[in-house]
Structure 1
Amino acid sequence: MPYNIAMCSDCFFPQPGGVESHIYQLSSKLIDRGHKVVIITHAYDGRTGVRYLTNGLKVYHVPFLVIYRETTFPTVFSFFPIFRNIIIREQIEIVHGHASLSSICHESIIHARTMGLRTVFTDHSLFGFADAASILTNKLLKFTLSDVDHVICVSHTCKENTVLRASLDPLMVSVIPNAVVAENFRPLILPSDDTALPADPHSRVTPAARRLGPNETITIVVVSRLFYNKGTDLLIAAIPRILASHPNVRFIIAGSGPKAIDLEQMIERNVLQDRVSLLGPARHEEVRDVMVQGHIYLHPSLTEAFGTVIVEAASCGLYVVCTRVGGIPEVLPGHMTEFAKPEEDDIVAATGRAISKLRAGRIPTELFHNQVKQFYSWTDVAQRTERVYDGISGVLPHDEFYPGTGAGAAGWSATRGRAGVQSFALIERLKRYYGCGIWAGKLFCLCVLIDYLLFVFLEVFAPRSRIDLARNWPKKEGKGLDEVDAGMGKESGGIGRKRSARHRDREKRRDG
């Protein structure tokens, strides 16, 4: 059944990044499948109010103060009146928050539960347990996820991390990876569709790759935000050593951040201006044009839940050198990647091995694109996310959505952190929050009580009858929902045909 969904996060375009791309692509595919999706994010320079993007995707840019890395200052309660107005105007049924460090995400989930809406949270990052920032973030996450209906993580490593940080039952956490639009990341020479690699990466039947001569220049590409957690310090230390060992190698680096000045100083100190090109920040639509200039993609990240950029690089036909951290080992098969420890010496050694393999013609990078296209699809991500929506809305039977719960599982709904459809009753919500800690539990309960009283106040003094309902974006002529779903049904074993029949029944009831 179709849903009215609000995607809530501080991370969205025009800010570049993996979370931003994930929200946009997922929203577009959900719209293609017949759902209504709106985005709630903060205002950017020159972008405020309501904007419409491709496919009728509506974006609400809320004018809040941005304090750090495009994250807004936590307002706790002052966001509620605006949020409630948007939710009622758009007749939202499910609120889907993204990113652990997004204030808008956390506040939206709390307010949505107060309003009696179903909620989903997607975690895109990994966090530790020892430093002060991680401890505070984890406590905030535990507060928010105490009363969420379901959680999605982008990798199995991310799931383990989130379950531990927020004390969740693993049954209420699903793993749905990111994806890429492979057609937007094509190599310069696109192979034919019948040249895909064998299903078994260790098969001996492997097409020969083009050899690179000993004097032919190999270009190493880096596209990343220049922050500490992205391994920029490792990159700064490794570049001079790599270039000293391999005279016919050069670097192209695209990205911006606080570490950019350190990178520039390293280039000047080692006089590498003719071998290292700094392009500055690159828009997402420009990333492919940067990547296709190279042969190797270097990704020295210190922590990563998924790493969409390495999938984009492989789709462009680049051999990937990356650190074995977080969820990165889950992303690509071993014949597409050269792994290294997050250490300077190992990154230099791994890059050297990658250069040697390319010069020897042992890596058929020209075939990567077709295989990546088979691995990842946003249509598949949307279908799996839609199944989560069906599960929390009661469309799917409980035993089917939470396999293995068995008899008596319905009684789990009142228990904090257990898999099951969460109750909206205030007393049950307070029980779940109270279990978050001796002092924190009491503080969380106080916040929820104030939020509930604010909701009652708004219902009395700003009644719903005074809020105009927004008109839905008209459906495309020529290729409507039936055709879109029918096409997807071919890929999903008939799911599309069932949805199309339901859509026709709704149209008949509405017209009748």
Structure 2
Amino acid sequence: MIDSTRDQQLVNSLGRQNVLFVSDFFYPNCGGVENHMYHVAQCLLLAGHKVVVMTHAYGERAGVRFMTNGLKVYYIPRLPFYEGNTFPTIFGNFRLLRVILIREQITVVHAHQAFSTLSHESILHARTMGYKTVFTDHSLFGFADGSSIHTNKLLKFTLADTQHVICVSHTSKANTVLRSRIPPPRVSVIPNAVDTERFLPGPESRPPAPTINVVVISRLVYRKGSDLLIDLIPMVCKKLEHINFIVGGDGPKKVSLDEMVAKHGLGNRVEMLGNVTHADVRNVLVRGHIFLNTSLTEAFCIAILEAASCGLLVVSTRVGGVPEVLPSDMLILEEPQAENLCAGIERAVQLVPTTCPFTFHDRVKEMYDWKDITRRVQVVYARAHQTHSDELLPRLARYYTCGRFAGKLFCCVAVVNHLYWGFLEWMFPRKDIDLAPDVPSPGDLDNTPETPTGSNSNMRDAPDVHT
């Protein structure tokens, strides 16, 4: 909830905002970042704000599309280059982003995910044009490997001139502050939530005792602990004869999991579902008693919330922000080792008969609500309007402190970007850019029923608009 009267006053004084969400990760791709953006966008629309999303094209999905409650999505003509990210161009997307910012009369640019090159570039361009910016970090990074070092340096550059930062857990906040060296007061912790109206318990779908189903729904990649799962499943099946596994998800480690199932003759005890769409996740979860998360790093893990909302007892690795998600009687934490997780599952098997799925659901519903999350995001937007000078020299001073060599490089990038902006203003004047008509927001209409924010099944296509 909003913590103070001052915060409530900030929200009341905010007024209608035109918000641009930017990330390389959005529907039709499925994941925690995509779900977070979609749900917050829907709640902002219901609160009377305007929300537009900018992401890259997904195959034939390009141009402008509309989703539930008039959520407008620009699928810009850029293709993913590596793990869903577009190729970093620094200045290549400025012209198109400028048109969208002016056309949609944006007041706040909200970028998501440190992995997203589109997010980093949009913050630079938006700040050059004087827009207020907010950044949400959904991930944890290390400090020693080459990839983390370069990503952290880029994040330091981006956040040096960002008005406010949101992290999804306190662990994530500590990680982000250390990586980017920004003052902690500029970082707020706002967790993810879950649409409890969609993730309802269904105990009737479970097999009769003594059989117990353990459900795993995850991308089958190293970071999600797929190698750990390969060692764990045979160990559990050998110790506990009434345990079956349901594994949903796809990825490069799926082949190894299939080989493990064949090698140990577990075809009748391990059900491999392959890719599971988000619309079908609930139908898979309600078949289980226990949800297993084997992630090696996790800032929050919304999958745990979805499972608990469906009444499953959760067994998870003790990593990142996971210990913050649920209370200890709903979440069994173990070190990321097969032997420890096997012991955790044995403990969970003993507790399953004493758990009530509907009690779990009610507790999750009370703890996590997207409307509350969105109110807190609105406080951040209000605070963003009260900070940071938009003039070039103060911005350069902030970039200069980013490192002995990197700081000077960042200053050069900012100056070139500023000059390029001046060229765009001369070559393509603002008066020649048509303003987009506003789609009425559900929050502006009387007696408008609230469409469940968890569903994007009624996504409809609009004619492509090329700008």
Aligned to 2:266: 272
Alpha carbons 1:33, 1:485 under 8 Å: kept: no
| Residue 354 of structure 1 pairs with residue 368 of structure 2 | no
The one of 384, 390, 395 equivalent to 2:382 is 390
Mapped partners of 2:186, 2:255: distance in 1: 43
Mapped partners of 2:372, 2:150: distance in 1: 35
Alpha carbons 1:95, 1:120 under 8 Å: kept: yes
Matching residue's letter, 2:315? V
Aligned to 1:406: none
Aligned to 2:255: 261
1:355 Cα deviation from its structure 2 partner:
1.1
Aligned to 1:309: 303
Mapped partners of 1:260, 1:442: distance in 2: 45
1:393 Cα deviation from its structure 2 partner:
1.6
Aligned to 2:463: none
Alignment of 1:21-420 (within 5 A): 21-188=35-202, 213=209, 216-358=210-352, 361-394=353-386
Matching residue's letter, 2:308? A
Alpha carbons 2:261, 2:270 under 8 Å: kept: yes
1:357 Cα deviation from its structure 2 partner:
2.0
**SS of corresponding position for 2:185:** helix
The one of 413, 431, 439 equivalent to 1:473 is 439
Mapped partners of 2:144, 2:244: distance in 1: 39
**SS of corresponding position for 1:309:** helix
Residues 446 and 485 of structure 1: is their aligned pair in 2 closer, same or farther, counting only changes over 3 Å? Answer: farther
Alpha carbons 1:32, 1:481 under 8 Å: kept: no
Matching residue's letter, 1:320? V
The one of 408, 411, 423 equivalent to 1:442 is 408
Mapped partners of 2:116, 2:391: distance in 1: 26
1:427-447 per-residue CA deviation (whole Å, 9 max, x = no partner) reads: 111111111111111111111
Mapped partners of 1:221, 1:258: distance in 2: 19
Mapped partners of 1:182, 1:35: distance in 2: 23
**SS of corresponding position for 2:345:** helix
Q: Sequence identity, in percent?
A: 51
Gaps of 5+ in 2: 1-14, 451-467
1:211 Cα deviation from its structure 2 partner:
13
Alpha carbons 1:296, 1:318 under 8 Å: kept: yes
Higher relative contact order (CA 8 A, sep 6+): 2
Matching residue's letter, 1:271? G
Aligned to 1:505: none
Runs of 4+ in structure 1 deviating by more than 2 angstroms, as ranges, are 210-213, 361-366, 479-486
**SS of corresponding position for 1:334:** coil
1:32 Cα deviation from its structure 2 partner:
0.5
Residues 19 and 475 of structure 1: is their aligned pair in 2 closer, same or farther, counting only changes over 3 Å? Answer: closer
**SS of corresponding position for 1:96:** strand
1:271 Cα deviation from its structure 2 partner:
1.2
Q: Cα RMSD (Å) of the superposition?
A: 1.8
1:391 Cα deviation from its structure 2 partner:
1.3
1:474 Cα deviation from its structure 2 partner:
2.3
TM-score normalised according to structure 1 size: 0.83
1:428-480 per-residue CA deviation (whole Å, 9 max, x = no partner) reads: 1111111111111111111111110110000001000111100000245xx74
TM-score normalised according to structure 2 size: 0.91
Moved more, 385-394 or 308-317: 385-394
1:30 Cα deviation from its structure 2 partner:
0.3
Gaps of 5+ in 1: 191-209, 395-420, 487-512
Mapped partners of 1:119, 1:211: distance in 2: 50
Alpha carbons 1:33, 1:484 under 8 Å: kept: no
Mapped partners of 1:485, 1:236: distance in 2: 46
Alignment of 1:492-507 (within 5 A): none
Mapped partners of 2:366, 2:126: distance in 1: 37
Mapped partners of 1:139, 1:482: distance in 2: 48
**SS of corresponding position for 2:114:** coil
1:356 Cα deviation from its structure 2 partner:
2.1
